[in-house]
Amino acid sequence: MPLVDLPEEEEMAAAVACIDAWVEREGAAGGPLVAAERQEVTDRTASYRWYLRFKGDEKDFITVWFTLRQRTLHHEAQFMPAPEANHVDVYTYLLRRNAHLFGMWFALGPEDAVYLVGRVPARLVDDDELDRIAGSSMLYIDEHFPTAMTLAHPSTYRRRPRR
């Protein structure tokens, strides 16, 4: 895809239209996307936010938030609550996993919960990029959630039996 320097309004409108169309197609396809909602952001920190709820394997649901900011699409998914135990082991595990993730990383968020986050330039938002973000988010969460939760919450977390 050739890069062009679009004025900000056109760039944002193109990104919004692309995300809306992608969400509509994915929702109608009968795949893992089970719910979607778009909100206009009025606090001037962003323009729009989408909440995308996917069916997970290790977690019942994985919610990915897309936030269209001034010239970037920020995406995040809550990975797990703050660790109750083995803090050093949990953070070491997640930092080592970061080296193997493409275009996203584990980070601490509100209340010390762990999130999977990333961002891309708004001008690069297209169906392939949205597929990559959604698919990678689901894959990385399902892949790393059991180990991280076993370390962080040994008294309460039990891995799901294999189906």
Domain that residue 101 falls in:
8-152
Indicate whether 2 belongs to any domain: no
Number of domains the chain contains: 1
pLDDT more than 90, % of the chain = 77
Indicate whether 137 belongs to any domain: yes
89 vs 16: CA distance, rounded Å: 40
Lowest mean pLDDT among 44-48, 67-71, 91-95, 137-141: 44-48
| CATH code of the domain in which 16 resides | 3.30.1460.10
CA-wise closest residue to 26 among 47, 50, 46 = 50
Which tokens hold the place of 113? 């919960």
Lowest mean pLDDT among 46-50, 84-88, 90-94: 46-50
Nearest-5° angle of CA 18, CA 48, CA 25?
35
Q: What integer best gives the mean pLDDT of the chain?
A: 92
